[in-house]
Structure 1
Amino acid sequence: MWVYAIAIGVAFFTAFALVAIFDYRTAEQKACADAPSTSAPATASLAEDEGIVAPVSGVLATVAKTGHAFGIKTADGVELLVHVGIDTVQMDGDGFDVKVVKKQEVFAGEVLVEVDLAKIEQAGYATTTLMTVTNTKAMRAVTPLVGSTVEACAPVIDIQR
């Protein structure tokens, strides 16, 4: 009986040490924890450049030359399109400062592009940023989470594989 008790104790402390050393969070959770905290709504100041960040970790499958759209493929097969503004491709990159390149690995919270939202509004385009799962047929369910103000690192889509 005492050998059993020692074995349980060793297993517990070994597991505790491994979690403390190697962490238990995903890359997205670590990026969100390290990101500066903000509670500003998604419609925050349009007078300054805004950084559009990667919502998930993955590899950039697509980076539009104009900086208005990014395709990210995650390690577990989710393909996500981040599209900045509506019809902003017409701006031909004016007001967009792209910070990444195609095939680059990005982590959740990493800046993809800095955007002058005021310039987009002045050009007559909407500043709404869309996130679309492009391979929904490969997923069991893709459900948008609506009804709340969007904050950095807060989930906005529930994906069931």
Structure 2
Amino acid sequence: MPIETTHNRLRYNVKQVKVLVIEDSADHSVLMKSALQQCIPEVTAVFVDNSEEALELLNEWSTQEWELPKLIFQDLYLPSREDGWHLLEQIKTMSPSCNRVPVVMLSSSDDRTDIVDAYIRGVASYLVKPTDYADWLTYFKELRTYWIDTVTLPPVQFSI
């Protein structure tokens, strides 16, 4: 496939990308929204601030392939770590159309136990939240390169 065609295909795929961001901190949401818009302006980011809203949306989208997010950014502490683990568990027990969406865990915690537990529980990546806006920009530039421009995800499988 010629480079120009591949580039056009990638640009088309990016326009089709929706990400779900589950973040209960208004300050972090503002930083993330701004960094996402600057680094991946073609992506539609849907922000929710609690587990219930996230699960409601995922359930609603689970039968509509075009509505499913391609990636989920989830805060671990929603507001407690146990709430974050519970949400991740619920996502991982949903239908295959939802439970295969990669979850990138974001947390202020750099505790080794949290990191190991996150991978054991099935996250695709664990990122310690940056402390300043420049670092958020760096994170989202790298995430774009990897998750949007590079990775090929399996097709969505629906069960009826």
Q: State whether TM-score is above 0.5.
A: no
Greater helix fraction, Structure 1 or Structure 2: 2
In our comparison, the structure showing a higher alpha carbon Rg is 1
Greater strand fraction, Structure 1 or Structure 2: 1
Query: TM-score normalised to the size of structure 2?
Result: 0.24
Query: TM-score normalised to the size of structure 1?
Result: 0.24
